[in-house]
């Protein structure tokens, strides 16, 4: 299988401090080639790729900056909540999420920094500065809402999640992510009640006007859903969430 060849070629590259400079263009090419394939095949490829990075993160053999500067120095008091979905099938493990965001979020930013203050990271060993059991994690979110309504803590509140597509907003918000693909769907009542519970219990200081979908901050994404915002005909599930907070 072509993916096995790629993995065995990439594995030794991961030891180079700028491994992602070589791997990102190949990954882009792989994505282009997979576009003609079935949804199931594309899903499988994504899982293989994310798990490749997740496994190497767990093994500790990806070159990272393991003595990084404080990544959370610009953290501000939390006055906003941003809602996301993974846009993947439910059941995302936190390990796969970390591998996925290492390659989808952190690697492109270190290859070509978009945030002005980040110019100095270009080509440098990647870091998140967020350690769990001695290993860095690359989660963008603070909370995960599972389909059965169980909530999981990811980042702590004093850690900045790279999630909003806006640095100031990253610094002052927390991110809640639904574990699933809500592109054209509404979360179940169980999931909505769970998300509302997080906001009510943990962030009572956040004004309801400061609860946003990712798409309201970054117009280039449809995250968390095409059905998030209300239109002339349908009530979006943002309004359902806000009603649960009353």
If the CB atoms of residues 202 and 214 are measured against Zn ion, the closer one turns out to be 214
* 175 belongs to the binding site for Zn ion (CB under 5 A): no
Contact 193, 63 (CB under 8 A): no
Scan for tokens 């999420």, then name that residue: 97
Q: Does residue 202 bind Zn ion (CB under 5 A)? A: no
Contacting range for Zn ion; rule: CB under 5 A; set: 31-39, 120-128, 216-224, 226-234: 216-224
Q: Which stretch binds Zn ion (CB under 5 A): 55-63, 101-109, 128-136, 209-217?
A: 209-217
Q: Which residues are within 8 A (CB) of 146 and not within 5 positions of it... i.e. 6 or more apart?
A: 90, 152, 179, 191, 194
- 56 vs 172, beta carbon nearer Zn ion: 172
Question: Minimal distance in Å, beta carbon 226 to Zn ion?
Answer: 13
224 cis-preceded (ω within 30 degrees of 0): yes
Residue 3 and residue 193: Cα distance in Å, rounded? 40
CB of 139 to Zn ion, least distance (A): 13
Among 49, 126, 223, 241, binds Zn ion (CB under 5 A): 223
The piece of 31-39, 69-77, 198-206, 213-221 that touches Zn ion (CB under 5 A) is 213-221
* Binding flag, residue 62, Zn ion (CB under 5 A): no
The candidate with the shortest Cα–Cα distance to 139, out of 177, 89, 192, is: 177
Nearer to Zn ion, 62 or 102 (CB): 102
Candidates 46-54, 76-84, 102-110, 198-206; binding stretch for Zn ion (CB under 5 A): 76-84
Furthest-apart CA atoms within the chain: distance in Å = 54
Window 77 to 106, contacts with Zn ion (CB under 5 A): 84
Q: Is 241:225 a contact under the CB 8 Å cutoff?
A: no
Q: Which residues of 175-200 are buried (b: 16+ CB within 10 A; e: fewer)?
A: bbbbbbebeeebbeeebbebbbebbe
- Which 3 state secondary structure label does DSSP give 50? helix
Answer yes or no: are the C-beta atoms of 81 and 39 closer than 8 Å.
no
Does residue number 214 form part of the binding site for Zn ion (CB under 5 A)?
A: yes
Tell whether residue 142 is a contact of Zn ion (CB under 5 A): no
Shortest distance (Å) from residue 221 CB to Zn ion: 6
| Contact call for residue 174 and Zn ion (CB under 5 A) | no
Q: Are strands 80-85 and 173-178 parallel, antiparallel or unpaired?
A: parallel
Nearer CB in complex with Zn ion: 23/154:
154
Rule CB under 5 A: which residues touch Zn ion? 84, 214, 223
């Amino acid at each position: 299988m072509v993916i096995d060849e790629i993995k065995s070629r990439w594995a030794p590259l991961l030891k180079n401090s700028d491994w992602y400079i070589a791997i990102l263009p190949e990954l882009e090419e792989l994505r282009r080639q997979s576009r003609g394939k079935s949804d199931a095949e594309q899903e499988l490829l994504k899982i293989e790729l994310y798990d490749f990075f997740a496994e190497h993160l767990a093994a500790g053999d990806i070159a990272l900056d393991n003595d990084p500067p404080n990544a959370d120095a610009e953290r501000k008091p939390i006055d906003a909540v941003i809602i996301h979905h993974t846009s993947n099938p439910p059941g995302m493990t936190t390990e796969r999420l970390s591998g996925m965001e290492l390659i989808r979020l952190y690697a492109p930013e270190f290859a070509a920094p978009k945030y002005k203050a980040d110019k100095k990271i270009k080509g440098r060993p990647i870091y998140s500065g967020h350690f769990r059991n001695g290993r860095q994690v690359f989660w963008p979110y603070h909370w995960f809402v599972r389909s059965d309504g169980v909530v999981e803590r990811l980042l702590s509140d004093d850690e900045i999640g790279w999630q909003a597509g806006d640095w100031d907003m990253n610094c002052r918000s927390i991110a809640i992510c639904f574990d699933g693909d809500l592109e054209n769907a509404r979360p179940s009542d169980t999931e909505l009640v769970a998300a509302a519970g997080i906001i009510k219990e943990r962030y009572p200081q956040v004004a309801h006007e400061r609860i946003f979908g990712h798409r309201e901050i970054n117009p280039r994404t449809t995250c968390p859903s095409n059905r998030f915002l209300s239109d002339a005909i349908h009530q979006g599930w943002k309004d359902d969430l806000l009603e649960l907070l009353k």
